[in-house]
Structure formats: C-alpha cells, structure tokens
Amino acid sequence: MFIFFIPLSFLIASTSGFATAVFPLLGGVVIKNNIDILASGSITTFSFTSGLVNLITPTSGIVMCSIAVARMDYAKFIKSMAPYMLILTTSSLALLLIGAAIRKTIV
C-alpha cells in the first residue's frame, strides 16, 4: 500500500483531498475482496506517505516558498534532501512492518 500511495500523493497535493479520493475506493476493494488489511495500518501508511511526499512535492506552497527564500533551485533541494528522505522512508517502512508483525501476534 505504501508503494500505491506515494504516486497518488504526488498527483493529489491536498492531504484531505487525497484521503477523500483514496479511502472510499480502497474501502470498497478491501471489503469486496476480503483482504486482511487492518484499517489502522491503512491510515498509518497514508499518514507516512503523505508526510514524506509533502516534504518535497513541488506543488506545496510552503516548500516552494522556502526554496525561493533560501535562493536554492529545486534540483539542488532534492539532491540535499535525498539522504534524509531515504532515512525517513526506511524508518517508515520499518515501523509499518513492525506494526504488521504486532498485529499478527495480537489477533
């Protein structure tokens, strides 16, 4: 789901708009196919991906304004953010895997 949410988060910049667009569709698929996905895991994945993408997305006014104030071009910003994004993505995936493992031990 993490991989599914990242491109969609780039396309839909608004977090609330992203949630409104994705969760009704996702809920229907999960219910129809009886996929064993916990709702809290979906929401946690949504929060992680939305937060990660909002740090670097060019459609965010805060990001672009901050880059302009710092007089930095977007390519240089992405290059400098890459190590931090790698660390954050890795830790997000690790936390999601831990959450999935804990869920299986509880139920």
What is this structure's pTM? Answer: 0.78
Which tops the pLDDT comparison, 28 or 22? 22
Residue 82, burial from CB neighbour count under 10 angstroms (0-12, 13-18, 19+) = exposed
| Amino acid identity at 91 | S
The two most distant CA atoms of the chain are separated, in Å, by 52
Instruction: Identify the CA nearest to 31 among candidates 19, 41, 23.
Output: 23
pLDDT for 33-82, tens place per residue?
555 556 677 788 888 999 999 899 888 888 999 999 999 999 999 999 99
- Return the number of other C-beta atoms located less than 10 Å from residue 84's C-beta: 11
Q: Residue 21: pLDDT above 50?
A: yes
81-95 mean pLDDT? 95
Instruction: Identify the CA nearest to 42 among candidates 1, 102, 94.
Output: 1
